[in-house]
Structure 1
Amino acid sequence: MTDFIGLPKAEVHIHIEGCFEADDVIANCEAAGIPLRAPRDRLFEAHDLKGFLEMLDWLCGTFRTREQLATTAYKFAQRMGRSGVRYADVIVNPTHWPHWHKDIAGMIDAFDAGFAAAEQDGHPPVGLCVSLLRTQSAAEAIELVELLGDIRHRRVVALSVDGNEAAAGRTGPRFAEAFRRAGAAGLRRTVHAGESSGPEGVRDAIDLLGADRIDHGVRAIEDPELVDLLARKQIALGICPVSNLALGVYRSLADHPIDALRKAGVPVSINTDDPSLLDTTLEASYAACAEAFAWDDETIRQLAATSVQASYADPALKARILTDLADWRS
């Protein structure tokens, strides 16, 4: 049986908002006198992307202290370690966190404290991708980028944008200037696209937002010229197969285009998106895809290598992980 936990790899498309533990959320509610949105066994239940995002807002609204954020960050790094992840880029979207809207710098500091403590204890290092929400304005986007530029926090590696593409409509032109400024400030740029939108969202991410990595991107498969562009430019897709099935983008792994994209030369990696809320792990996602597409060890190794190469880890850490990966045997 293939050891997907022992496989040296990175996770590059995962939201901290999707990694909460039910016990922590319940403790937050008890401390602040917040009524539960649902019984414990249905606390993370949502039936579509709109309901999913509303649930995230409620969950994040229960986090009100620096200690709660630091604990969440520490437990995130622990979760990564249990799955054999050597480095993770985690997305945080400040719009979901109502008690931190006016103190984003403080929120970043609190997360940083938890990540730093975890790394000191031997858990994997984590980079923070701070995300815009698609419904924000161009001015709000620029304001966030200016804040990130002012504080220049060592934990922040990238600007991101996420949210419901289908509901928000085309947003590439709105955020183009913010992403241009982010690039000029030395931030990497990762963009959710090609999930609830079609391939046009992926094209906008490349042409208008300068994306060096795309979160999801699966619906690029509907445009052969776009697939060729992704392969030619080697723009990596952070694909989350289990999430795509849970949220109805595809009906089954047999219908999922991850293997077709891989075979077309597009750099693809396997990720979990929101593992607590979807009740999955990274090793389970690897195992399900390996079975569905009959991947051999060398293909699995290539996918893990792509996850490392597409990550925002520093070059020395990437080199160490890739050396270990070359020695991996299932």
Structure 2
Amino acid sequence: MTYLSATNSAKIELHLHLEGGAPPAFIRGLAQEKQVDIGGIFDTHGNYKYTDFWDFLRVYEAATQVLQTPQDFHRLTLAVLEESAKSGVIYTEAFLSPDFCGGRDVGAWREYLHAIREAADIAEKIMGITLRGIVTPIRHFGPDKARETAICAAETAGDWIVGLGIGGDEKSGHLSDFAWSFDCAREAGLRLTAHAGEWGGPDSVRSAIQDLKVERIGHGVRAIEDLALVDEIAEKGVVLEVCPGSNVALGLYPSIRKHPINELYKRGVRITVSTDDPPFFHTTMQKEYAALHDAFDWDEAFFDQLAKASLDAAFCDADTKARLHKTLEQAHA
């Protein structure tokens, strides 16, 4: 059984934060079970409540306080993947933070990772969605903690943990401060991405490419403010993990029509589409596709090619890609 019947096309998502995908009802329920006071992070309708990006980070971290055990993350993984599968997602790469999974202790991290993988296996069998993990230091926690996170990533690198990224406050420190962590991950065979070009501007994108030597950029949309950089990204084949709904919800752009994703694509940049932290931004992959269709007249054929290109940019192994390409062909036929 799959959830493909819920949408017109099969989708590939490369930029999803696991904790950020937690439905508000899931977090509220877990807080009640554990009798944890997570403060006033919900509005009167029960949705997450924040004022700007930095307040969003505060609310995000408050919500993670109820995720205290491997079993909590097992339940979280099932809840998040169920929502993704309903939008026709057949493959997703989720950012996982050892900061929230055992405090960056490698032994504890392995226990959390085992629970997440168990849930992912269940979801794949029941919902037809495949999950892979990208370990993600939190930038505003600092370079020293990022090193510990990178060691967790290196110790569990393989066919399931496929990459290293970095998230958090783009205005905290410099990406070059995290070069050791990315070198460590690269030596362990992990692929590399980094959040940049959202709040840090074009220079942060250039730094991610030059200082961390990443092949993908999370967001990266403000590269459009420097057309020479856009040309460089296109020439090097750097992939942008674009999250239009997230950018609009956080006030980076006033609407999808004003979002630069279409212009970036027309200038030869390899783009993908993702939801980032979907319940926080009242979005799904289905809604992202619908909004992009309305804004730019992207049609079914375009979205079919987008899914294939996104899968080509995924960090999973060749056998997994081959299997998923067959699924895309069948779904889009």
Q: TM-score, normalised by structure 1?
A: 0.91
Using the TM superposition, give the Cα deviation of residue 42 of structure 1 relative to its aligned residue in structure 2, in angstroms. Answer: 4.1
Q: 2:170 aligns with which of 165, 171, 190?
A: 165
Counterpart-to-counterpart distance in 2, 1:239 and 1:84: 18
Letter in 2 for 1:145: A
Residue aligned with 1:132, SS: coil
Counterpart-to-counterpart distance in 2, 1:34 and 1:137: 27
Using the TM superposition, give the Cα deviation of residue 99 of structure 1 relative to its aligned residue in structure 2, in angstroms. Answer: 6.1
Letter in 2 for 1:117: I
Which 4+ residue blocks in structure 1 deviate beyond 4 angstroms? 98-102, 326-330
Q: TM-score, normalised by structure 2?
A: 0.90
Give ranges in structure 1 of 5+ residues lacking alignment.
none
Letter in 2 for 1:258: I
- Over residues 52-74 of structure 1, what are the superposed CA-to-partner deviations in whole Å (9 max), with x where a residue is unaligned? 11111111101122221101112
1:198 corresponds to:
201
CA gap 1:315/1:321 in 2 versus in 1, 3 angstroms = same
2:133 corresponds to:
128
Counterpart-to-counterpart distance in 1, 2:263 and 2:329: 24
1:308 corresponds to:
311
Letter in 2 for 1:128: G
Letter in 2 for 1:6: N
2:84 corresponds to:
80
Contact 1:93–1:131 under 8 Å retained in 2: yes
CA gap 1:64/1:136 in 2 versus in 1, 3 angstroms = closer
Letter in 1 for 2:216: R
Counterpart-to-counterpart distance in 2, 1:245 and 1:304: 22
CA gap 1:26/1:222 in 2 versus in 1, 3 angstroms = same
Letter in 2 for 1:93: S
2:31 corresponds to:
29
Counterpart-to-counterpart distance in 2, 1:172 and 1:4: 40
1:276 corresponds to:
279
Using the TM superposition, give the Cα deviation of residue 319 of structure 1 relative to its aligned residue in structure 2, in angstroms. Answer: 2.9
Residue aligned with 1:254, SS: coil
- Over residues 178-210 of structure 1, what are the superposed CA-to-partner deviations in whole Å (9 max), with x where a residue is unaligned? 111211110111110000011111111111111
Letter in 1 for 2:118: A
Using the TM superposition, give the Cα deviation of residue 119 of structure 1 relative to its aligned residue in structure 2, in angstroms. Answer: 1.9
Using the TM superposition, give the Cα deviation of residue 26 of structure 1 relative to its aligned residue in structure 2, in angstroms. Answer: 2.1
Counterpart-to-counterpart distance in 2, 1:7 and 1:153: 30
Q: 2:161 aligns with which of 153, 156, 168?
A: 156
Contact 1:8–1:321 under 8 Å retained in 2: no
Q: 2:226 aligns with which of 223, 231, 237?
A: 223
CA gap 1:101/1:86 in 2 versus in 1, 3 angstroms = same
Contact 2:15–2:276 under 8 Å retained in 1: yes
Using the TM superposition, give the Cα deviation of residue 160 of structure 1 relative to its aligned residue in structure 2, in angstroms. Answer: 0.8
2:250 corresponds to:
247
**Residue 118 (str. 1) matches residue 120 (str. 2):** no
1:16 corresponds to:
18
1:146 corresponds to:
151
Identity %: 31
1:318 corresponds to:
321
Give ranges in structure 2 of 5+ residues lacking alignment.
none
Residue aligned with 2:92, SS: strand
Contact 1:70–1:111 under 8 Å retained in 2: yes
Residue aligned with 1:68, SS: helix
Counterpart-to-counterpart distance in 1, 2:203 and 2:152: 30
Counterpart-to-counterpart distance in 2, 1:221 and 1:326: 33
Using the TM superposition, give the Cα deviation of residue 240 of structure 1 relative to its aligned residue in structure 2, in angstroms. Answer: 0.5
Counterpart-to-counterpart distance in 1, 2:163 and 2:102: 23
1:182 corresponds to:
185
Counterpart-to-counterpart distance in 2, 1:248 and 1:109: 37
Deviates more, 1:236-245 or 1:64-73: 64-73
Counterpart-to-counterpart distance in 1, 2:272 and 2:254: 20
Counterpart-to-counterpart distance in 2, 1:154 and 1:324: 20
Counterpart-to-counterpart distance in 1, 2:7 and 2:316: 20
Residue aligned with 1:268, SS: strand
1:237 corresponds to:
240
Contact 1:87–1:313 under 8 Å retained in 2: no
Contact 1:9–1:321 under 8 Å retained in 2: no
